[in-house]
Amino acid sequence: CRFSQMLHPIFEEASNVIKEEYPDKNQVVFARVDCDQHSDIAQRYRISKYPTLKLFRNGMMMKREYRGQRSVTAIADYIRQQKSNPIREVQDLEEISSLDRSRRNIVGYFEQKDSDNYRTFERVANILHDDCVFLSAFGAISKAERFSGDNVIYKPPGVNMVYLGSLTNFDLIYAWTQDKCVPLVREITFENGE
């Protein structure tokens, strides 16, 4: 379509800008699909209008497609924002006790950053960072909250909820976090309206 043809050079240039910033081919990949020729792909990913910009993280399609400005700068800025660390590391537990409880907060308490538990937490945060605020504390700072080992807690406006499953089982912790972070009914905005 005409709009896809207009977006093509912008998409290519944004791809080149990001490729310079993230030269490792496994960090960011831009891909184009002609959905008229590959209707099976369009159907699988529910693409009904063109052009559509979808984001995948760790092989999973994100619910929200890119709805921002169709310019090199805007697309590159969006990718940079997506690549930023979704987890804020706290230096004092007082930061956690003063959280804005009206937001959906997921807090991970870990003995060390270099662990399978934290890497799984990080994968989940990378996918759900638009829906929740993710925080972490390590070592001596987190010791008081690691009463039975590494721990993940949901801190909503009400009572805290502790994750009781395996911290290395991505599917379990992802499902639990998604249940806590993604509301049954979302506010419709320009960015998320489909």
Contact, 142 vs 96, CB < 8 A?
no
Token pair belonging to 7: 């977006």
Task: Give Cα separations from 59 to 56, 76, 126, 135 (angstroms).
Answer: 6, 20, 12, 24
Residue range 77-106: mean pLDDT, rounded = 89
Query: Is the residue at 192 inside a domain?
Result: no
Domains in the chain, number: 2
Token pair belonging to 86: 């979704």
Task: Calculate the CA 193 to chain-centre distance.
Answer: 18
Model pTM score: 0.74
Residue range 173-184: mean pLDDT, rounded = 89
Query: Is the residue at 46 inside a domain?
Result: yes
For the cut 80, the answer to whether the pLDDT of residue 8 exceeds it is yes
**Angle CA(62)–CA(41)–CA(30) in degrees, nearest 5?**
55
Query: Is the residue at 93 inside a domain?
Result: yes
For the cut 90, the answer to whether the pLDDT of residue 116 exceeds it is yes
End position of a domain, from candidates 32, 61, 83 = 83
The DSSP string of 38-101 is -HHHHHHTT--SSS----EETTEE-SSPP-S--SHHHHHHHHHHHHS--EEEPSSHHHHHT--T
Does one domain contain both 117 and 165? Answer: yes
The DSSP string of 5-24 is HHHHHHHHHHHHHHHHH--S
Distance CA 53, CA 64 (A): 9
Kindly report the CATH number assigned to the domain that includes residue 163.
Answer: 3.40.30.10
Distance CA 14, CA 156 (A): 38
pLDDT tens-place string over residues 48-79: 888 888 888 878 888 778 888 899 999 999 98
Query: Is the residue at 56 inside a domain?
Result: yes
Token pair belonging to 135: 């925080």
Query: Is the residue at 188 inside a domain?
Result: no
pLDDT tens-place string over residues 12-44: 989 999 998 888 877 888 888 888 888 898 888
Task: State residue 186's pLDDT score.
Answer: 63
Q: What is the mean pLDDT of the chain?
A: 88
End position of a domain, from candidates 83, 98, 113 = 83
Does one domain contain both 39 and 107? Answer: no
For the cut 70, the answer to whether the pLDDT of residue 189 exceeds it is no
